């Protein structure tokens, strides 16, 4: 596996830090929203009797909040929006390829040479193995076939 450059490491570190900040902000917003909706209550104790459960079930529940109304969109507007997207997407493949090529971690020259030598060594080993096996195997077959014939 190729090593990451200092720039790649710094970018990854910055991205992790940014994600962490965003997660903390979302968690803080969720806590604030929960506190704003519900007043502070003492934690509920474990109920030992069915009577307590029945009383809780009989308690009135708050009414759900009304949903926001959405304005209906006409089909003509949707069709007009799709046509420009197709034109934009014609060459999007090439921009996507360019973006992916930037993300590639290219091997160093030393890595390329090292793995090339491993491949050449494996080719030589298996070539010699095949040549030796090819020269010995027919003779073994002749010996085995000659034993059965008298």
Classify residue 68: in a domain, yes or no: no
Classify residue 27: in a domain, yes or no: yes
Check residues 65 and 116 and name the one with the higher pLDDT: 116
pLDDT on residue 45: 58
* Segment among 19-23, 75-79, 102-106, 144-148 with least mean pLDDT: 75-79
* Segment among 32-36, 74-78, 99-103, 137-141 with least mean pLDDT: 74-78
pLDDT on residue 8: 86
Classify residue 31: in a domain, yes or no: yes
Classify residue 5: in a domain, yes or no: yes
User: What residues make up the domain containing 114?
Assistant: 109-150
From residue 88, alpha-carbon distances to 29, 82, 93, 94, 101 in Å are 37, 10, 10, 11, 20
Q: How many domains does the chain have?
A: 2
- Asked if pLDDT for residue 79 goes beyond 80, the answer is no
Check residues 118 and 61 and name the one with the higher pLDDT: 118
Burial zone of 107 (CB within 10 Å; 0-12 exposed, 13-18 middle, 19+ buried):
middle
| Predicted structure pTM score | 0.33
């Amino acid at each position: 596996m190729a090593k990451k450059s200092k720039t790649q490491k710094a970018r990854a570190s910055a991205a992790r830090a940014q994600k962490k900040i965003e997660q903390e902000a979302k968690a803080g917003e969720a806590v604030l929203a929960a506190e704003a909706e519900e007043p502070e209550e003492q934690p509920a104790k474990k109920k030992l009797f069915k009577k307590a459960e029945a009383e809780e079930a009989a308690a009135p529940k708050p009414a759900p909040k009304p949903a926001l109304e959405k304005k209906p969109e006409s089909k003509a507007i949707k069709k007009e929006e799709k046509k420009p997207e197709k034109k934009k997407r014609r060459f999007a493949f090439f921009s996507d390829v360019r973006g992916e090529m930037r993300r590639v971690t290219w091997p160093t020259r030393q890595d390329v040479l090292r793995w090339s030598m491993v491949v050449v060594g494996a080719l030589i080993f298996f070539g010699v193995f095949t040549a030796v096996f090819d020269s010995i195997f027919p003779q073994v077959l002749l010996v085995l076939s000659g034993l059965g014939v008298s």
